[in-house]
Amino acid sequence: MDIDSFKQDLLAAGATGVSLVNAGNIEIREEFRALCQSNECGMYGTNWSCPPACESLKRAREKMSCYSRALVIQQVSPLEDSFDFEGMMKAQREFTGLMVKAVNLAKTNYNLADFLALGAGACTICAKCTYPDEPCRHPDLMMPSMEAYGIDALSLAKLANLPCGNKSDGQPSVYYMGVIFF
């Protein structure tokens, strides 16, 4: 696979940063999964991509260990101010769209048949998730969250040598990241 072309395609699709890392170097920590259970984001038990519906951390570790490389995809979006919740939600929807494009590129342009894509936070493909009453409407597009898989976004940003914080060039910003293991 031509990683450089894939990276360029992701940047053209809206990513602000893309980095290839050794998948084995990505930290998986229990406390990030525990944050899901504390329901800090309000999505615990409401979405197929989040606990308790998604896989156990043990199974998540097993899945990630099958891959040697990972492409970290980042999108930085400006906000009006640090309290621009609407801007943050809009940026998350845009990032979800970027990750869907990344998955489609992986399948169609780069012939990746075996990979694992993780997004930022709960899946937002559908306006209302069917959990727990019906199966996921789009299991081919739904991405579990990195946090549900025990990944610390700050550590991943450092590993990938990508910026992380709440300001970009002095402007309030939100940083979203996802990862494709292959």
Taking only Cα atoms into account, the Rg of the chain, rounded to an integer number of angstroms, comes to 16
Give the pLDDT confidence score for residue 156 in this predicted structure.
95
Give the pLDDT confidence score for residue 84 in this predicted structure.
92
- Assess whether the previous peptide bond of 132 is cis (omega < 30° from 0): yes
Give the pLDDT confidence score for residue 167 in this predicted structure.
62
Contact between residue 171 and residue 84 where contact means Cβ atoms under 8 Å apart: no
pLDDT in tens, 52-107: 998 899 999 999 999 999 999 999 999 999 899 999 989 988 999 999 999 999 99
pLDDT top residue among 166 and 40 = 40
pLDDT band, residue 121 (cuts 50/70/90): confident
- Listing DSSP states for 30-75 in one string gives HHHHHHHHTTTTS-TTS-TTSTTTS--HHHHHHHHTT-SEEEEEEE
Give the pLDDT confidence score for residue 70 in this predicted structure.
97
Give the pLDDT confidence score for residue 42 in this predicted structure.
85
Structural domain boundaries in the chain = 3-181
Give pTM, 2 decimals. Answer: 0.90
Lowest mean pLDDT of 11-15, 124-128, 154-158, name the range. 124-128
Q: Is the pLDDT of residue 166 over 70?
A: no
pLDDT top residue among 19 and 42 = 19
Mean pLDDT of 145-168: 88
